[in-house]
């Protein structure tokens, strides 16, 4: 039997996911700036300070989202994240047991989804791949690689139904 050759797939969350996640804060920030710019408005300087601090938090969250990387290799699924301190989580594909795909209303509008990968891994039993394009069938790609790795290692799932 010929062994399939899997190339590594690298994915990043789409920028639209930032707007989906941060919509309330994105709306609140300009309101604070406008209110802070009004003459004779009570607490105008506090509103301006609050809006500026909120803007800095939003910039950090955007940078954090843009630095996330998901890699689907032939034997492992990895997730890199972090700005100041990078962290990489590894899941051996033969340990993956289930998937869950979900879309919020805004994700449906923007054509995005979140895929949750459940595994028997002790350190990473649950990994959420968020902001992925719906047009890419990630679950099928991972499932194919999971099944191949389970067969290669001789691992069989026993269920009690």
Does the pLDDT at position 95 exceed 60?
yes
Q: Are the beta carbons of 77 and 142 closer than 8 angstroms? A: yes
- For the entire predicted model, the pTM comes to 0.87
Give tens-digit pLDDT for 98-154. 999 999 999 999 999 999 999 998 888 999 999 999 999 999 999 999 999 999 888
Q: Are the beta carbons of 21 and 58 closer than 8 angstroms? A: no
């Amino acid at each position: 039997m010929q062994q399939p050759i899997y190339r590594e797939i690298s994915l990043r969350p789409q920028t639209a996911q930032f707007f989906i996640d941060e919509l309330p804060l994105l709306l609140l920030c300009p309101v604070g700036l406008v209110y802070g710019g009004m003459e004779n408005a009570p607490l105008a300087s506090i509103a301006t300070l609050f809006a500026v601090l909120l803007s800095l938090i939003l910039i950090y969250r955007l940078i954090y989202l843009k630095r996330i990387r998901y890699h689907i290799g032939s034997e492992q699924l990895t997730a890199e994240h972090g700005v100041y301190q990078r962290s990489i989580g590894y899941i051996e594909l033969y340990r993956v047991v289930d998937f869950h795909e979900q879309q919020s209303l805004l994700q449906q509008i923007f054509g995005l989804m979140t895929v949750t990968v459940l595994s028997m891994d002790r350190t990473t039993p649950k990994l959420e791949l968020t902001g992925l394009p719906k047009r890419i069938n990630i679950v099928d790609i991972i499932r194919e690689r999971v099944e191949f790795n389970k067969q290669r290692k001789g691992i069989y799932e026993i269920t009690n139904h």
